[in-house]
Structure 1
Amino acid sequence: MHTSNNICNFTNKKRFIILFLFLLSLLTLLCGCKQAAPAEEKTHSAVKSSSDVKPAGGNPEQSYSAKDDTGRILVFKTKPCRIVSVTYGTDEILKTLAGPERIAAYSRHAGDPEISFLSKEDVKRVGKKVENNSEAIFALHPDLVVISTSTGADELRTLESMGLTVYVAMSPKTYQEMRQKVRNLGLAAGEPQKTEDLLKRMDERMASLEKRLQAIPDDRRRTAVAFSMTGPMGRKGELFDSMMKLAHVINGAATVHPLGIKGQISKEQVVQVNPDMFLLPTWNYDKHSDPEKFARELMEDPAYRNVKAVKNRKMVYVSDRYRYVASHHIVDAVENIAYAVYPELFPEGKPEDQE
């Protein structure tokens, strides 16, 4: 009888182990991906050629390599499925290419309509937002953390010392650099086909917009000066300057020198430029900035009394999510800048943001 009980207990244990392994396998299958390679398996040397990177295939269980925007090579056993994004631009790219089910947390600005293209519903679906804080990030048990090149080297080292796989994303200054940002992150997320499809849609929309804007002869292009809450913005060579060119708008802030300490032109230089339009900010970023009050102050400023933008009351709000775009939504940004300056070219009305 004692032997029979032992056999029964052994059989029950065996059944329990089999059931446990089955449930574990099912959980892995539903997730569709496993944890990325641990820190010691990563290679942080610069990528010399595309042959150094093994792209992801269609199988979520297939290992692959990808480089981040600084050239560091990351090795993944499978597609990451607990991704933490700490920048609003990478929030948007990952939401489109990886999908919310693979995101463990968005950045602190996610869902703010004045800076983010994510809706509150998008954020609610993921359920978490996180600051750029190593302890808070580690507590989410991510298999991929996406940070910015503006993040300090110490923070990067801290995250990696915790055994986390860290991807560094750049801050583009041109449309082509933005395409590269999208491509690199999409490949790291293990979504090569979705990435190429998105880039194709971006290029098609930009080509369509360019065809529309060709109706404006070069000598009839309008000059605009854009303002942030602290003054004129859009220095030469920055992303906003590049977007103004794509929108066939002359960026007044990039036409005069020297620039001030903060890279801005002075009030006297704005008068010298005499722009056709002022592009006004909308983001109450510190909860103490009133866009409407700011607009009134510009309109009532005696220094601007004879500036064409004020005389003709051509002062148009352009959302800060377009000004400071950091994702594939650069196309939406250029479209909306063009619409603000050349509304007559858009008889259908204001362009709607697209995925």
Structure 2
Amino acid sequence: MKKLCIFLLVSLLFLLAGCCQQVKMSGHQECKTATYAVLDDEGRKLTFSEKPQHIVSLTYGTDEILTDLVDSKRITAYSRWAGDSGISFITRDQMFKVGRKVNENLEAILALHPDLVIASSATNSDLITGLETAGLKVYIARSPKNYSEMQEKILNLAAAVGETEKGEALVKQMDEKLRNLEARMRKLPDDQRKVAVAFNFTSAMGRRGDLLDNMLEMAHVINGVATLPQNNNLEHGQLVISKEMVVGINPDVFLLPTWNFDNRRDVQGYAQQIANDPAYRNIKAVKNGEIKFVPDKYRYVASHHFADAVEKVARTVYPEMF
């Protein structure tokens, strides 16, 4: 029996030695992260022998999540939109700290020698194939359609970079912020909820079941476009919303775009165009001067700033509640 106990003890020590590495730090031993595997948002398996230390992010949403998950030294490059306050929550100081942005270009990314590239479900499939053919690990993050999927996006990415606890903390912070907002907004009577229609620089936008729809719902705003039949007026898979449809909705509020992404958009000029459009003359939003702006970095949020975006919408539509 004594020999068996000794054998088991020795075996345990060998197992511990296999997953730990001696580090000369004050004479102590430190266990480095063992090999771990994760699934990305498309269910593809990635295996890591250690936490990635040279991460390249190709999307503004994952830029933002990574910034609150890992030390900036572990981020080799942000996406091209980092530091653009029109669409990104990454500040210029954070951008300068990382010091590099990269476009979705195979040669440019390979030159950075990353140990993890974070792409999205919208990233060109040829680029992803090229990166993987070159031997790089590519993690594909989803484009969430609701809050639950946003939570999963954050938790899954946190697991991939070896920071599960930090991911859980980010989700907890979102949950708490949204609970506090709901406690305030539930005081609004249902019959006083406002109907809103959002616009891009082309026309009215949105549809039932997308992230903006979920955001408006959580802000106690009725998404006017979601009240329309969804099986008609599709063009290239997108719902085409005519002026006549907007008139039929007769929304209380117009939410207009703000991001001058190509330096050719006149934000205030577009607002004047909408306000002076004869087709919209008798709509409540125009008659009552309820033409408002929610910055596009909130409207197109793709990270844990979702909770901030819901609050921003609520504050914009119902300033009297704050």
TM-score by length of 2: 0.88
Aligned with residue 287 of structure 2, among 302, 311, 320:
311
1:272 aligns with 2:248: yes
Contact 1:280 1:295 in 2 (8 A): yes
Following superposition, the deviation at residue 71 of structure 1 comes to 1.0
Secondary structure of 1:282's counterpart equals coil
Q: Distance in 1 between matches of 2:317 and 2:233?
A: 24
Aligned with residue 230 of structure 1, among 202, 210, 222:
202
Aligned with residue 328 of structure 1, among 299, 304, 314:
304
Following superposition, the deviation at residue 59 of structure 1 comes to 5.3
Q: Distance in 1 between matches of 2:156 and 2:257?
A: 31
Following superposition, the deviation at residue 154 of structure 1 comes to 2.3
Following superposition, the deviation at residue 62 of structure 1 comes to 2.6
Describe how 1:117-136 pairs up with structure 2 within 5 A: 117-136=89-108
Structure 2: tracts of 5 or more residues without a match: 1-20, 25-29
1:205 aligns with 2:177: yes
Query: Which residue of 1 is the match for residue 10 of structure 2?
Result: none
Q: Distance in 1 between matches of 2:292 and 2:206?
A: 16
Structure 1 residues 198, 60: closer, same or farther in 2, change over 3 A? farther
Q: Distance in 1 between matches of 2:243 and 2:63?
A: 36
Aligned with residue 170 of structure 1, among 124, 134, 142:
142
Q: Distance in 2 between matches of 1:164 and 1:70?
A: 17
Aligned with residue 194 of structure 1, among 131, 155, 166:
166
Which residue type is aligned with residue 328 of structure 1?
H
Count of matched residue pairs: 293
Q: Deviations over 1:203-253 (max 9, x none)?
A: 111111111110112222100111111111111111111111111100111
Describe how 1:51-62 pairs up with structure 2 within 5 A: 60-62=32-34
Aligned with residue 156 of structure 1, among 128, 135, 148:
128
Query: Which residue of 1 is the match for residue 321 of structure 2?
Result: 345
Query: Which residue of 1 is the match for residue 40 of structure 2?
Result: 68
Secondary structure of 1:97's counterpart equals coil
Which residue type is aligned with residue 323 of structure 1?
R
Following superposition, the deviation at residue 156 of structure 1 comes to 1.5
Query: Which residue of 2 is the match for residue 48 of structure 1?
Result: none
**Between structures 1 and 2, the one with greater strand share:** 2
Contact 1:84 1:103 in 2 (8 A): yes
Contact 1:66 1:187 in 2 (8 A): yes
Following superposition, the deviation at residue 328 of structure 1 comes to 0.6
Aligned with residue 281 of structure 1, among 251, 254, 257:
257
Q: Distance in 2 between matches of 1:259 and 1:204?
A: 39
Contact 1:65 1:75 in 2 (8 A): yes
TM-score by length of 1: 0.80
The percentage of counterpart residues that share the same residue type is 53
Which residue type is aligned with residue 226 of structure 2?
A
Secondary structure of 1:271's counterpart equals helix
Which residue type is aligned with residue 285 of structure 2?
A
Secondary structure of 1:65's counterpart equals strand
Contact 1:256 1:265 in 2 (8 A): no
Following superposition, the deviation at residue 175 of structure 1 comes to 0.1
1:110 aligns with 2:82: yes
Following superposition, the deviation at residue 295 of structure 1 comes to 0.3
Following superposition, the deviation at residue 195 of structure 1 comes to 1.1
Following superposition, the deviation at residue 99 of structure 1 comes to 2.5
Structure 1: tracts of 5 or more residues without a match: 1-24, 30-57, 347-355
Please report the RMSD computed on the Cα atoms of aligned residues, expressed in angstroms: 1.8
Q: Deviations over 1:45-84 (max 9, x none)?
A: xxxxxxxxxxxxx955432111110111111111101000
Query: Which residue of 2 is the match for residue 293 of structure 1?
Result: 269
Q: Distance in 2 between matches of 1:154 and 1:134?
A: 9
Which residue type is aligned with residue 308 of structure 2?
D
Contact 1:235 1:264 in 2 (8 A): no
Q: Distance in 2 between matches of 1:102 and 1:209?
A: 34
1:241 aligns with 2:217: no
Describe how 1:31-50 pairs up with structure 2 within 5 A: none
